[in-house]
Amino acid sequence: MTSPLPLGIHKDLTYAEYDADPGVRATALKTFERSDLHAFHARTHQKDSASLILGNAVHIYALERDDYAELYQVAPKVDKRTKVGKAQWAEFEAESVGKILITDEDHFKIKGMGESLLAHPQARAILAESPGVNEVTAYWEAQPAPDLPMRRCKARIDRLCSWNGIPTVADLKSTKDASPEGFEREIRKWGYHVQGPWYLGGLQALAPAARQMVYIAVENFAPFAVGVYTMDDEYIALGSKIAQSRFERLVRAEESGVWEGYKSGTLYPPEWLVKQHMEMEEGAF
């Protein structure tokens, strides 16, 4: 492995360069939602899901449109069980070396999501009209706990820009539900409440400024509705505390080699069950 790049904000690094760097990333912290053991399993069984591949393609289509045709190729519908189909597929593969193959259905979704993003006034202003830069990599050092040494950390940020005159960290998310209520559930499910504050904390360590965290959510099915949401200060403060706690857990687990699962304890009836039982008891008389 080559030597790590200098700490700071880098604007021209590829994702492969970012991925190869040993720094702690938000993805590692998000996997601690259930237990340390689940986090360890996630890091040792990591693979690209279909939804992740689709999400990455939408990023390229919306943020770096000129690169989309260079990186992705729509696969033809051929019957590879036949001699003719096999020959057609072999010819297609030879012409598409180095490209990521997607289906017609995927291309329809990617195009629909990308066009919907750029048709949404706020999303377009952030992604295409505001002064800024896409795919920014940040490296910084942070201390997990007072008794632990500093650790190298990193982030890959979709877009840094100035929106409405405010320095903005923009994160583009593909989702099943971009409504305020639906995306709030997605935030908790996928750990975005940890990811955003992690980005802000890293940038603050490198270049202090009063930044805002904005999520741009686009649904991955027609009509590809879009929602743009700013994370409020209380949410950021809470997410920062959770991120710091998981950062400490990660480092302690790495140093000890112990990745704990669930802790033992006593189970108590939830309030709703107690209330339900009391209502049934009262209704019996």
Range with lowest mean pLDDT among 47-56, 68-77, 143-152, 222-231 = 47-56
pLDDT of residue 88: 79
Q: Check whether 129 has a pLDDT greater than 90.
A: yes
Mean pLDDT (the chain, rounded): 90
Report which secondary-structure segment, H or E, holds 14: none
Nearest to 262 by CA among 34, 108, 19: 34
Nearest to 161 by CA among 116, 120, 114, 124: 124
Nearest to 199 by CA among 252, 117, 140: 140
CATH T-level fold of 8-25+120-283: Lambda Exonuclease; Chain A (3.90.320)
Burial (CB count within 10 angstroms: exposed 0-12, middle 13-18, buried 19+), residue 43: middle
Q: Check whether 169 has a pLDDT greater than 90.
A: yes
Q: Check whether 199 has a pLDDT greater than 70.
A: yes
Q: Check whether 1 has a pLDDT greater than 60.
A: no
pLDDT digits (tens, 9 = 90+) for 98-123: 778 778 888 899 999 999 999 999 99
In the chain, CATH 3.90.320.10 sits at: 8-25+120-283
Q: Which residue has the higher pLDDT, 99 or 255?
A: 255
pLDDT of residue 81: 85
pLDDT of residue 49: 60
